[in-house]
Amino acid sequence: MLNRFATLATVCMLIPFGTAPDASADAPPDPSVQPAANPAPPLPPSLDNSAVPSGPPGVLDAPDGCVLTVVGSDESEVPVAPLNTANTSREYRVSGTFTGSVQCGGR
């Protein structure tokens, strides 16, 4: 009896796999349709005009009495061509110098 039930359960579980349609990729694109042009943002001629103002230093007073400080300088941001064709995609190359310090009273 248990053998018949196991066989019936296996067959019932495999029926959806036999009747499901095969997965396939999208239909090939129509060759008469041309994709829209994706204008890339203009690149600046040099990195000198891409400077970004640095924010104020970040300071954290830790519960154990230490003071953590982070300062950014020489920051720049340059737009680069996106890696995909989405019009909403924005990609940038960023750089900067960031310095951190930890000062603990007496330690």
User: Per residue in 30-89, pLDDT tens?
Assistant: 777 776 665 555 544 544 567 888 889 999 998 888 999 999 988 888 888 888 877 777
Residue 2 maps to a domain: no
Residue 78 maps to a domain: yes
How many structural domains is the chain composed of?
A: 1
At 95, give phi and psi (nearest 5°): -150, 165
Residue 35 maps to a domain: no
Residue 7 maps to a domain: no
Q: How far is the C-alpha of 82 from the C-alpha of 72, rounded, in Å?
A: 26
Instruction: Show the domain range for 59.
Output: 40-107
Beta carbons within 10 angstroms of residue 95's beta carbon: 12
Amino acid present at 40: A
Largest Cα–Cα separation, the chain: 83
Prediction pTM value? 0.43
Higher pLDDT, 69 or 10: 69
Residue 76 maps to a domain: yes
Strand order in the sheet with 66-80: 58-61, 66-80, 91-104
Residue 57 maps to a domain: yes
pLDDT at 2: 64
